Amino acid sequence: MPSKTKTLSKILKYIGIYKLYLIISTVLAAASVGLTLYVPILIGDAVDLVVDKGLVDFEGLGAILLRIAVVVAVTALLQWLMNVCNNRLTYNVVRDVRRDAFAKIEILPLKYIDSHSTGEIVSRVIADVDQFADGLLMGFTQLFTGAVTILGTLGFMLSINVGISLVVILITPVSLFVAAFIAKMTFSMFKLQSETRGEQTSLIDEMIGSQKVVQAFGRQARVQEEFDGINELLEKCSLRAVFYSSITNPGTRFVNSLVYTGVGLTGAIAALRGGISVGQLSCFLSYANQYTKPFNEISGVVTELQNALACAARIFELIEEEPQIPEPENAVELAAPEGRVSLEHVNFSYEPNRRLIEDMNLSVTPGSRVAIVGPTGCGKTTVINLLMRFYDPVSGRITVDGNDVRNVTRGSLRRSYGMVLQDTWLRAGTVRDNIAMAKADATDDEIVAAAKASHAHSFIKRLPQGYDTVIGEDGGGLSQGQKQLLCITRVMLCLPPMLILDEATSSIDTRTELRIQRAFAKMMEGRTSFIIAHRLSTVMDADTILVMKDGRVIEQGRHDELLAKGGFYAELFNSQYNI
């Protein structure tokens, strides 16, 4: 995690964009503090006008009271304007931080998303930024005002009596030492609190998304224990952080009481000796109180800033993560690819010490159907990740129409493929919106035609509002088979030059599957297709079948040829049909 100094410098860069608000806020803070400090002088003057019973200058007293009322009203207006500037500055900075964080998520390599839980990332972008905003707002609201108040009161006190002011100056460092010591202690505790809160958010997000699985396997008690463990750790972290941060205010208040006592004693002695008037003493006591008050506020701000810095460090970690490899300036746009795909000596592994794909070679002619079969974990889906350039090979290269995919724009490459995966993805919106995601300018007739081709039209028409039925996130309310039919409909709508079907009909009943297989066969005519399947009956008509095992292509050929060899493919086929 970055140091506090580095984190603070990054925050200042964001604040620098809105330095006008900062300048205006500082000027308003100085003006409001100046007027606030002017009030004790007027009160002191008013006290001096009350000499004795029957010797009160009511006319002068009335003028002073009117002046005090005007000063207080103007001060209130300036403080309101200052708060407006502070709010705008804080929430503009927070908006920019969240925008940059979300933009970084969009370009992060998939290996980062795969290695970090969704809840932990969400916690950084939402909870940590909120905590950062609270600390930043408190800092702008109180830090500037407090600093100016301290300097202003010190100046006024020195102008009244240097001796009494020295008493204040000598005791002040004790308050600063207390605040600095506690701030140092609380930073590490708030950092641990923020990290633990991220773990808790991650667990909650995962459990809510997998509640059916948790209940199906009777894991409720185990999950509850895990949550209780994290919750107790968060309780301990929070209590320690809050305890140490809460003693800041009493500690500084104790020191401030010493300051007030010192001013009272030395001021009273000076008044008795005629060094200052009673009005000046009252003014001095008011200044002593105003002088010490910002130390309480600033100590609270410092504590809150520790929390804000800890949260900011986590969000900046995300923002500064290495993005995916940028596209070269002369990257090629695939306009209308023929579908000639080649893998040349491709090696790939998710982890350096665990090899997966080794020296894979494949040449696919345009319009051919390539099936990839093999046991779970052999690398079938990894090949698809490489074709789509979700990951880049460690060595070797992949080409489309002779172009290395690393020299092709990601957008044009991925638009050239139509994907139907075993895992469905739908967003909150209407059924029509989810289908039209593949082709934004599609007409209603095109959407209906694609739905009929995928055999989704009949179940869509049975929905309450048909194509205008609103579905929840990830297709809430639809069966897994219906979700998969909608994903197939997308591909039917856009009909790209190349297709990837990864267990595309795994959640669909046998009767519908036969219909969709016929629709797929028609759709695949003249299109390069990659088909991943466990049920070998669905790939018997493929032009080429790649048999993978332990990351290697161990057999390659047509169905009849591979059966005749009597190798690993024949074993897989016979085991499925109990031959």
Helix 4-16 with 19-49: angle, nearest 10 deg: 90
The CA distance from 522 to 452, in Å, is: 14
Structure tokens at 74: 């103007």
Q: Are residues 18 and 162 in the same domain?
A: yes
| Model confidence at 61: pLDDT above 80 | no
Query: Tell me, what's the pLDDT at 56?
Result: 67
Q: Averaged over 305-314, what is the pLDDT? A: 79
Is residue 325 included in any domain, yes or no? Answer: no
Pairing verdict, β 470-471 and 429-430: antiparallel
pLDDT digits (tens, 9 = 90+) for 532-575: 877 777 778 888 888 888 777 888 888 888 888 888 888 887 88
Helix (H) or strand (E) holding 311: helix 278-319
Q: Are residues 279 and 417 in the same domain?
A: no
Is residue 548 included in any domain, yes or no? Answer: yes
DSSP 411-448: HHHHHTEEEE-SS----SEEHHHHHHTT-TT--HHHHH
Chain-centroid distance, C-alpha 541? 46
Is residue 231 included in any domain, yes or no? Answer: no
The strand order across the sheet containing 403-404 reads 357-364, 341-348, 395-400, 403-404
Query: Tell me, what's the pLDDT at 173?
Result: 67
Is residue 177 included in any domain, yes or no? Answer: yes
Q: Are residues 522 and 427 in the same domain?
A: yes
| Model confidence at 451: pLDDT above 60 | yes
The CA distance from 298 to 54, in Å, is: 45
Other CB atoms within 10 Å distance of the CB of residue 463: 17
Number of domains in the chain: 2
Is residue 113 included in any domain, yes or no? Answer: yes
Is residue 529 included in any domain, yes or no? Answer: yes
- What's the mean per-residue pLDDT of the chain? 80
Which of 182-186, 289-293, 396-400 shows the highest mean pLDDT? 396-400
The CA distance from 41 to 284, in Å, is: 9
Return the exposure string of 194-204: e unless at least 16 CB atoms fall within 10 Å of the residue's CB, then b: bbbbbbbbbbe
Pairing verdict, β 498-502 and 417-420: parallel
| Model confidence at 1: pLDDT above 70 | no
CATH number, domain with residue 489 = 3.40.50.300
Give residue 410's region: left, alpha or beta (phi > 0; psi -120 to 50): alpha
**Which of residues 443 and 56 earns the better pLDDT score?**
443
Structure tokens at 106: 């969009």
Q: Are residues 401 and 299 in the same domain?
A: no
Query: Tell me, what's the pLDDT at 2?
Result: 55
Which of the four pLDDT bands, split at 50, 70 and 90, describes residue 73?
A: very high
Is residue 263 included in any domain, yes or no? Answer: yes
As a three-state string, the secondary structure of 72-138 is HHHHHHHHHHHHHHHHHHHHHHHHHHHHHHHHHHHHCCHHHHHHCCHHHHHHHHHHHHHHHHHHHHH
Helix (H) or strand (E) holding 6: helix 4-16
Tell which of 288, 319, 350 closes a domain: 319
Structure tokens at 212: 């059916």
| Model confidence at 404: pLDDT above 70 | yes
**Which of residues 288 and 489 earns the better pLDDT score?**
489
Q: Averaged over 163-189, what is the pLDDT? A: 71
Q: Are residues 391 and 459 in the same domain?
A: yes
Structure tokens at 55: 């010797």
Other CB atoms within 10 Å distance of the CB of residue 351: 9
Tell which of 284, 319, 354 closes a domain: 319
Return the exposure string of 512-531: e unless at least 16 CB atoms fall within 10 Å of the residue's CB, then b: bbeebbebbeebbeebbbbb
Which of the four pLDDT bands, split at 50, 70 and 90, describes residue 577?
A: low
* 305 within 8 A of 12, measured Cβ to Cβ: no
Sign of CA dihedral 490, 493, 494, 500: positive
| Model confidence at 255: pLDDT above 80 | no
* 234 within 8 A of 189, measured Cβ to Cβ: no
Q: Are residues 359 and 430 in the same domain?
A: yes
Q: Are residues 449 and 564 in the same domain?
A: yes
What range defines the domain where residue 522 resides?
341-576
The CA distance from 355 to 348, in Å, is: 7
* 532 within 8 A of 503, measured Cβ to Cβ: yes
| Model confidence at 77: pLDDT above 90 | yes
Q: Are residues 252 and 152 in the same domain?
A: yes
DSSP 347-397: EE-SBTTB--EEEEEEEE-TT-EEEEE-STTSSHHHHHHHHTTSS--SEEE
Three-state SS for 579? Answer: coil
Q: Are residues 401 and 279 in the same domain?
A: no
Helices and strands (DSSP H and E) totals, the chain: 21, 12
Q: Which CA distances in Å does 481 have to 458, 472, 505, 532, 537?
A: 13, 16, 8, 18, 20
Is residue 329 included in any domain, yes or no? Answer: no
Sign of CA dihedral 478, 480, 482, 486: positive
CATH number, domain with residue 287 = 1.20.1560.10
Query: Tell me, what's the pLDDT at 210?
Result: 74
Q: Are residues 413 and 297 in the same domain?
A: no
Q: Averaged over 125-135, what is the pLDDT? A: 81
The strand order across the sheet containing 498-502 reads 417-420, 498-502, 528-532, 369-373, 544-549, 552-557
Q: Are residues 298 and 392 in the same domain?
A: no
**Which of residues 339 and 44 earns the better pLDDT score?**
339
Structure tokens at 158: 């020195």
Q: Are residues 298 and 352 in the same domain?
A: no
Query: Tell me, what's the pLDDT at 74?
Result: 92
CA distance from start to end of the chain: 59
- Around 289, how many Cα atoms within 13 Å sit in the side-chain half-sphere? 9
pLDDT digits (tens, 9 = 90+) for 478-507: 877 788 888 888 888 888 888 888 876 666
Q: Which residue has the tokens 């629709």?
A: 519
pLDDT digits (tens, 9 = 90+) for 462-480: 888 889 988 877 766 787 7
